[in-house]
Amino acid sequence: MVIYREATIDDIDIVTKLGLLLYSDDNTFESLYKENLSLVAASDKFTVLAFCGETAIGMAQCSIRHDYVEGTDSGAAHSRVGYLEGVFVCLEHRRNGVAKALVNECEVRAKQQGCKEFASDCKLTNIDSYNFHIKIGFDEVSRNIHFAKEL
């Protein structure tokens, strides 16, 4: 049986270890640990953990956004949109509904904080993430390509 609960300050090591698996690009344990300390303390951000027994098997990180969110009716004064920042499930527990349940837990918490909409994103090249989002009820609302150059 999988148990879901919101992360607390006591879970920072767990959140950071799972975060390294999710955000493996350029992060170190120390940099993510520091970031997660501020996330747990923030009232508009939260992490939901999934446990199988005593073992953490997944997490979802969310925020409540107050600015414009692509594809939503946000932007009005006092607008609040729940936003899935990232979701991760350990390989051996995938395809069992854990990720969907984590997102559902995030949606519940977003509603409790006054959100009427919930959004997310993924890279154009991340087909697995795209398919997951569609499967759990998200609608694609736009595609973006970002540009930058050094000055």
For a pLDDT cut of 90, what percent of the chain falls above it?
70
Q: Give the chain's mean pLDDT.
A: 91
Q: How many domains does the chain have?
A: 1
Label residue 15 exposed, middle or buried (CB < 10 Å: 0-12, 13-18, 19+).
Answer: buried
Residues 6, 93: Cα–Cα separation, whole Å? 19
- 19-65 pLDDT, tens digit each: 999 887 778 899 899 988 888 888 899 999 999 999 999 999 999 99
- In a domain, residue 125? The reply is yes
113: domain range? 2-135
- In a domain, residue 150? The reply is no
* Structure confidence at residue 12 as a pLDDT band (50, 70, 90): very high
- In a domain, residue 144? The reply is no
Q: What is the DSSP letter of 143?
A: -
Label residue 27 exposed, middle or buried (CB < 10 Å: 0-12, 13-18, 19+).
Answer: middle
At residue 59's C-alpha, the angle toward residues 98 and 114, to 5°, is: 95
- In a domain, residue 141? The reply is no
- In a domain, residue 68? The reply is yes
What is the CATH number for 128? Answer: 3.40.630.30
- In a domain, residue 127? The reply is yes
- 84-126 pLDDT, tens digit each: 999 999 999 999 999 999 999 999 999 999 999 999 999 899 9
* Structure confidence at residue 151 as a pLDDT band (50, 70, 90): very high
- In a domain, residue 142? The reply is no
Contact 81, 67 (CB under 8 A): no
Q: What is the DSSP letter of 73?
A: S
